[in-house]
Amino acid sequence: MNGLQLIATGGALPGRTITNDALSRMVDTSDAWITSRTGIHTRHWCTEDESAVTLAIAAARQALDRSGLAPADIACCVCATLSAPDATPSVACQVQAALGLPENRPALDINAACSGFLYGMAVARGMLTTLGGQYALVIGCEALSRLMDPTDRSTCVLFGDGAGAAIFQLADTPFALTLGARGSDVLHAGGPSREGSAPITMDGKAVFRFAVDALPKCLHTVLDETRLTLDDLSWVVCHQANSRIIDHCIKALQADPAKFYKNMDRHGNTSAASIPVALNELAESGQLTPGRPLACIGFGGGLTWGGAILQYKE
């Protein structure tokens, strides 16, 4: 058994919904301007009592409940985030404590920005195969509203908060994974410094050029490895950065738009949370087909990228 099979999902969104009209009262923008350039209509921001940790715990608890597994069945917990409220304890360790996961199992955070959930899958798979165990909990969570400059209309309109979680099982099912990085600060979020944390900044045109190059390459790589075609896939779940990026790649791939899931209109760009939030929505709506492979493609800050093909439980 050397692949991962998706067996359960969970999700959590914060309590504050921010519409484009609300943003237009904060910065010089409009619903028409935002929608035409991004496809985003609303996004969710954390309330004062919410954080990446509270969202991660809620999503992880839901995934565990739906899996039918006991906490003792989880062999590792990996959390992908770039917006953890604390340097330590990690979000994963706080999830471990909240869910009562065994203390003799690894729990750690990773940061690969918008590709983080796919990097988390790779880390979890590696730990399962080297340390033993059958089930892994992988979370993507973000509170990007805490990192934004609310007066910068080029970024504050894009990002949202949320969390998604998935439980994976080692299985002999269709599976492929590719990861990569190209060091660049065209999308930058600064950590603590003498001057305080630097807000998110982005060269939108450079990020767009990177994304429309990385997305098709990742998809072709994992399709070639599994000897599958786009027609074999039930869904292609991309990082939800911008509808224009996905639409550009659909056209370049001459693909069926109906295969490419989109939810950025409701959530904005939630970085590491975007793919697991999308997977959870598909599972909740009954749109994940048991036994059918699907692709997940990530791309974003770092610059990092990743692609995976996996199967939903039969």
Structure confidence by residue, pLDDT tens digits, 216-226? 999 999 999 99
Catalytic residue among 46, 114, 218, 296, which? 114
Mention every residue, 6+ apart, whose C-beta is less than 8 A from residue 161. 13, 14, 43, 44, 45, 46, 50, 52, 55, 142, 143, 144, 145, 270, 273
Tell me which range, 149-158, 162-171, 184-193, is most confidently predicted by mean pLDDT.
162-171
Residue of 20, 111, 269, 280 with catalytic role: 269
Q: How far apart are CA 158 and CA 270, in angstroms?
A: 9
Taking the C-alpha atoms of residue 238 and residue 313, their distance in angstroms, rounded to an integer, is 20
Active-site pick, 46, 239, 267, 280: 239
Report the chain's mean pLDDT, rounded to a whole number: 93
Non-local CB neighbours of 283 within 8 Å, separated by 6+ positions: 8, 9, 312
Total domains in the chain come to 1
Boundaries of domain holding 135? 1-313
- Answer yes or no: is pLDDT of 12 > 90: yes
- The average pLDDT across 296-305 equals 91
* Helix ranges restricted to H, the chain: 20-24, 31-38, 52-67, 91-99, 116-131, 153-156, 204-226, 243-253, 264-267, 274-284
Q: Please say if 269 is a catalytic residue.
A: yes
Of 240-244, 249-253, 266-270, 301-305, minimum mean pLDDT range = 301-305
Three-state secondary structure call for residue 33:
helix
pLDDT band, very low/low/confident/very high, at 203 (cuts 50, 70, 90) = confident
Residue 114 a catalytic site member: yes
Q: CA 74, CA 136: separation in Å to the nearest integer?
A: 6
d(CA 122, CA 54): 24
How confident is the model at residue 194, as a pLDDT?
Answer: 43
Q: Where residue 123 sits, what CATH number does that domain have?
A: 3.40.47.10
CA distance 117 to 82: 11
Torsion angles phi and psi, residue 298, rounded to 5: -120, 150
pLDDT greater than 50 at residue 126: yes
pLDDT of residue 183: 84
